[in-house]
Amino acid sequence: MKTVLLFSVLLFAFNKPLLASNEPEFYDSIRTLEKLLSVVEEPIETYAFQEQGMEFTHFFSIDLNRSFIVNDELGEVCSTYVGRQIESCFPCQSQESSENCP
């Protein structure tokens, strides 16, 4: 009985990252490129692009169906979301002027 209980505890402890990986909050907590590469496994697609004079890399995990946008100059993840499309880290388009974009 003790062996079964110990095995169950160990199984739960080692599967905790897998359980956490189903939660959006888990991915939102990934803020550095180093952490991203340590958590997300292959296969992963990358695409480098420029936006508003800054360089970014779009990382897409096929297995997770999740995208991560990394600001290459800072090495920081500025956006994470479900899907393959490439989104922006900027809340406003270049030259956009509105109530939310002064």
pLDDT tens sequence across 6-21? 344 333 344 434 433 6
CA–CA distance, 64 with 68 (Å, rounded to integer): 11
For 49, phi and psi rounded to 5 degrees?
Answer: -155, 165
Tell whether pTM > 0.85: no
> CA nearest 39: which of 75, 79, 66, 57?
66
**Token representation of residue 80:** 């994470």
Q: List pLDDT tens digits, range 51-96.
A: 989 999 999 999 999 999 999 999 999 999 999 999 988 877 666 6
